[in-house]
Chains A and B, each alone.
Chain A
Amino acid sequence: MTENKALLKPSRPVGIIGYGAYVPRYRLPANEVARIWVGGRVSGLPIKEKAVPGLDEDVVTMSLEAVRNALKRARIDPAEIRAVWIGSESHPYAVKPTSTIVAEAIGATPHIQAADMEFACKAGTEAMVMAMGLVGSGMARYAVAAGLDTAQGKPGDALEYTAAAGGAAFVIGPAEESLATLNAAYSYVTDTPDFWRREYQHYPEHGNRFTGEPAYFKHSTAAGKIMLEELGTKPSDYTWAIFHQPNAKFPQRVASLLGFTPEQIKPGLLSPVIGNTYAGAAIIGLTATLDVAKPGDRILMVSFGSGAGSDAFDITVTDKLLERRDKALKTQDYIARRTEIDYAMYARMRGKIAMK
């Protein structure tokens, strides 16, 4: 078997025309989960707090806000969009696309591709690679790719501390209109049973102790390493880096394994204050990084989704970022909007109280 590690490069250069983030208002502190399930033992909590969606929010409404923010920066006619792809593991319908609702609401229908992606936490970056392909082939001028989740962990499970809500959206288009060019992508995927949720089940399961080494670390480091090798770049060539962030520790460890410094991942490291936003986790790190980046900055982003796989992206910021950055709310604006809730309110808001 030959190995084909060639990077995914579009035949015409593409980039990010507009980007937008969304984080809901409510926060559940991790020590509140600890109070309920482990007698308040707070040593080794994975994050400080996580973002919780309001009673009237779901992946449709959150995607819509992130996409609208991306469009405010892109400043294009929504009718020119030819695809709306939304990655999530918590689409509100099992059958009926989130993407059609979002596309209709932004005025992009009917001449579009629309579909929902699912690949655990990397469904959003998978949508981005598809958008790169559609635009990069010349088939379309603009495509929207988004990744958002309202993830749930089983009550009392380790995941309950971190499973959060939020995400980001991007308008992908020709490089010459971009605020950041998408130079290349590379995906590393295997069949790894680290984490899953069966149909009709509310909560996911972990496979053995696969979460770390054989799943997250293996795929993230492989994708990152191959990307650097194939490009002939080294960590110091990048101003910033973003890794999937299921908790505070994993992305910091993978950064150091690949040779990136804490400073490089700092703006994108949001899991301590918003939790693991699943399909939105890596890409909301990217929006937060774009919020502070300068023209010429180079960014490496590596997502990870259980099951398992990682998508790596090589990105360069252009000078168009400066004129568009302030056209919409920034990631930190949403993070600053914060109302703390207790576990009882969280249980109500997330439908954990049996009503029938």
Chain B
Amino acid sequence: MEIPRHWRLRQQRYGLIGELCPHCDTKIFPPRDICPACGHEAKTSFAFSGRGEVFSFTTIYEAPTGFEETAPYTVALVKLEEGPMVTAQLTDLGDDKPEIGMPVEMITRRLHSDGDERGMLIYGYKFRPSMKAV
């Protein structure tokens, strides 16, 4: 069990909280404290909208230990509206086929359980096809 590792990341994981560079306005995810664009310190916290599109995707049939419960599942690189690329699962696909360019939105889901059924539940961001009003 890795309680501290997951606990210290909870806020960015629950809500896609990254950073904003006060020098060049670059939006940063994951947070890395130094702006990758201009090299200056960037520690201002920034909540991403969670909107983006699928840049690439694949479905995993042979899941690593700890992820068998939800296999097969789809992992994607999602290009966020604000710029950064994020690695996350696509969920709630139903019968929809994922495709490059598909608009997606962030939601918070169970990533997996830390250890067996006695372990802590790890929650974090995933993306689903953007829902539209009917």
Residues on A facing B (Cβ under 8 Å): 24-26, 54-58, 60-61, 64-65, 92-93, 101, 104-107, 326, 329-330, 332-334, 336-337, 339
Cα A101 to Cα B122 with chains together (Å): 11
Cα A326 to Cα B132 with chains together (Å): 11
Cα A334 to Cα B131 with chains together (Å): 8
CB-based contact A56/B134 at 8 Å = no
Interfacial chain A residues near B91, Cβ < 8 Å: 54, 56
CB-based contact B131/A57 at 8 Å = no
- Range for the number of chain B residues in contact with chain A: 20 to 34
CB-based contact B134/A333 at 8 Å = yes
CB contact between A339 and one of B94, B107, B126 (< 8 Å): that residue: B94
Interfacial chain B residues near A329, Cβ < 8 Å: 131, 133
CB-based contact A61/B95 at 8 Å = no
In the A-B complex, the 7 residue pairs with the closest CB atoms:
A339-B94, A105-B14, A56-B109, A336-B134, A56-B110, A55-B70, A25-B92
Interfacial chain A residues near B132, Cβ < 8 Å: 333
Is B108 interfacial (CB 8 A cutoff)?
yes
CB contact between B131 and one of A101, A106, A337, A339 (< 8 Å): that residue: A337
A104-B95 contact given A55-B70, A93-B121, A333-B131, CB 8 Å threshold:
no
CB contact between A61 and one of B10, B47, B94, B123 (< 8 Å): that residue: B123
Is B58 interfacial (CB 8 A cutoff)?
no
CB-based contact A326/B133 at 8 Å = yes
CB-based contact A104/B94 at 8 Å = no
CB contact between A92 and one of B11, B15, B95, B121 (< 8 Å): that residue: B121
Interfacial chain B residues near A65, Cβ < 8 Å: 107-108
Q: How far is the CB of A49 from the nearest CB of chain B, in Å? A: 14
Interfacial chain A residues near B14, Cβ < 8 Å: 64, 101, 104-105
Cα A92 to Cα B14 with chains together (Å): 16
Residue in B closest to A65 when the chains form the complex, CB atoms: B107
CB-based contact B110/A57 at 8 Å = yes
Residue in A closest to B17 when the chains form the complex, CB atoms: A107
Interfacial chain B residues near A58, Cβ < 8 Å: 110, 121
Given A105-B108, A105-B123, A107-B15, 14 new contacts (CB under 8 A): A56-B70, A56-B91, A56-B109, A56-B110, A56-B126, A61-B108, A64-B14, A65-B107, A92-B121, A105-B11, A333-B132, A334-B131, A337-B131, A339-B95
